[in-house]
């Protein structure tokens, strides 16, 4: 079975109605990234950060996977599929994908403030009340915090992602600007025989020597075209 690896970013979930940070009227315009997406911001005002992610979880409960998510999952019938995502939502899971590497953490999980990557402290929040309150404690006694990789923190899942990209027969990049590292650097780990597709309606800067096939469409329409090309 051929190994098909997806690298997905904010554009993958935008069609589902999830606010992106970088687009106009995106989340960056309402919040400073340093305040809600950095470890320094968390220690400076943990309550602001908790409230921000509590709101993100409430929003997540109101959206559903789009056609693009579903088509990614459907390819598991024909390929050994791995999804590497920069997104913290659970839309790939809800669409039926079974092998997902979350580079930047998972919105529906919480963890220790002192030791965020300790597996013993990572918990899944209940879907009917996915709220973290100040005073909620992790197993190690520290304040529970979002299980999110913030700016200023290491990306522990980058090594497994590199291994999957290196083994890929086909790599498909969907809805990511390829300017957030270390994820953007993953393309440099493809092997010489790997076929690379990029699905994005906008121009994206990338190394032309990679021989990328750019499908200039959104996630759902782009995935329909990709499925035809892969037949």
Sign of CA pseudo-dihedral 148, 25, 22, 42? negative
35 is written with which tokens? 């305040």
Q: What are the backbone dihedrals phi and psi of residue 143, each rounded to the nearest 5 degrees, phi first?
A: -60, 135
- So which residues are the catalytic ones? 104
104 is written with which tokens? 């930047």
Q: Which residues contact 133 (CB under 8 A, 6 or more apart)?
A: 50
Class of residue 157 by CB neighbours under 10 A (exposed 0-12, middle 13-18, buried 19+): middle
- If phi > 0 it is left, if psi is from -120 to 50 it is alpha, else beta; for residue 141 that is left
Compute the C-alpha angle 36/41/45, nearest 5°: 95
- H helices within 15-140, ranges in order? 33-36, 39-44, 46-60, 67-74, 91-95
């Amino acid at each position: 079975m051929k190994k098909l690896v997806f690298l997905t970013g904010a554009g993958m979930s935008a069609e589902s109605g999830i606010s992106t940070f970088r687009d106009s009227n995106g989340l960056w315009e309402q919040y400073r990234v340093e305040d809600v997406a950095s470890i320094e911001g968390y220690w400076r005002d943990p309550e602001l950060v908790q409230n921000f992610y509590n709101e993100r979880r409430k929003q997540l409960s109101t959206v559903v996977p789009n056609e693009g998510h579903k088509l990614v999952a459907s390819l598991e019938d024909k390929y050994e599929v791995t999804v590497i995502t920069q997104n913290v939502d659970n839309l790939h899971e809800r669409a039926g994908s079974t092998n997902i590497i979350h580079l930047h953490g998972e919105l529906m999980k919480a963890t220790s403030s002192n030791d965020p990557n300790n597996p013993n402290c990572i918990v899944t929040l209940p879907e009917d009340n996915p709220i973290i309150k100040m005073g909620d404690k992790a197993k190690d006694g520290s304040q529970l915090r979002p299980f999110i990789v913030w700016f200023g923190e290491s990306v522990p899942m980058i090594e497994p992602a590199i291994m999957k990209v290196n083994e890929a027969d086909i790599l498909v990049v969907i809805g990511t600007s390829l300017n957030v590292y270390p994820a953007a650097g993953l393309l440099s780990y493809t092997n010489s025989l790997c076929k690379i597709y990029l699905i994005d309606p906008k121009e994206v800067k990338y190394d032309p020597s990679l021989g990328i096939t750019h499908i200039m469409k959104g996630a759902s329409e782009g995935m329909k075209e990709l499925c035809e090309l892969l037949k």
